[in-house]
Amino acid sequence: MITIFGFEIERWSMPSRFYYLVLAVTIICTLFYRNLLRSPLGRAFAAVRDSEVSATAMGVHIARTKGKAFGLSCMITGWAGALMGYYAGNFNNETFSLVISITLLMMIVIGGLGSIHGAFFGAVVVAFLPQALSMLKDTVVGSGVAIPGLETGVFGMILILFILFEPMGIYGRWLKIRTWFELFPFARKDMFRRQKSYLKTERLR
């Protein structure tokens, strides 16, 4: 049982309280990241992500910035792990299989790298995708028929397609659609064409 400011939360007998606890932690983390992205540290994160050479030229300490990013990600992941452990009761190293790793990677790539909205979009898609695959399999093949590796194969194919054709994920696609409507009828077909060449400074690495 968890006690926060005298407020008791028990996962089995009080599921609604546990839900609101997870929701509160999610909102706090979202607001924290949103404000972090607007801070000098968040802009340093973005600079290092885009180009380490350019970030160094602007005075950003690469190793220190990466260390801060690693520490903050560990903090948020620790909160998520604590809530997951309390929800599941117990788990070990076998709980985190290859499918879970692919699922978490899909959640970020499909939603959109480097965006808070993308994390939520990816979580919604990945959460409903297994149910959609199950319904589609029952309709096409029939209920009760097991197809080993179907979910892993579909997840991998979707991941590869997003990496090749839409690296910015669902949120990136939404930004393109919104920008196209805002600029209509002056939007050009090739305005979102991906740049295939890198900076000359990046080629030296």
Rounded to an integer, what distance in angstroms lies between the CA atom of residue 48 and that of residue 201? 14
Whether 137 is covered by a domain: the verdict is: no
Question: What confidence tens digit (pLDDT) does each residue in 180-191 have?
Answer: 888 777 766 666
Please give the backbone phi and psi of residue 36, each rounded to the nearest 5 degrees, phi first: -65, -40
Whether 138 is covered by a domain: the verdict is: no
Q: Could you list the residue range(s) of the whole structural domain that residue 47 is in?
A: 1-96
More confident residue, 141 or 21: 21
- Residue % of the chain over a pLDDT of 70: 88
Whether 34 is covered by a domain: the verdict is: yes
Predicted local distance difference test score (pLDDT) of residue 194: 57
Predicted local distance difference test score (pLDDT) of residue 62: 92
Predicted local distance difference test score (pLDDT) of residue 64: 93
Number of domains in the chain: 1
Whether 200 is covered by a domain: the verdict is: no
Judged by average pLDDT, the poorest of 23-32, 94-103, 175-184 is 94-103
Predicted local distance difference test score (pLDDT) of residue 203: 46
Whether 201 is covered by a domain: the verdict is: no
Question: What confidence tens digit (pLDDT) does each residue in 30-69 have?
Answer: 999 889 988 999 999 988 988 888 889 888 999 999 999 9
Q: Where are the alpha helices (DSSP H) in the chain?
A: 15-38, 40-50, 52-57, 62-88, 98-111, 116-140, 150-165, 169-183, 200-203
Q: Bridge partners of 153?
A: none
Is the pLDDT at 119 greater than 60? The verdict is: yes
Judged by average pLDDT, the poorest of 34-43, 68-77, 140-149, 151-160 is 140-149
Whether 162 is covered by a domain: the verdict is: no
Residue 19's SS3 state is helix
Whether 142 is covered by a domain: the verdict is: no
Whether 185 is covered by a domain: the verdict is: no
Judged by average pLDDT, the poorest of 6-10, 16-20, 185-189 is 185-189
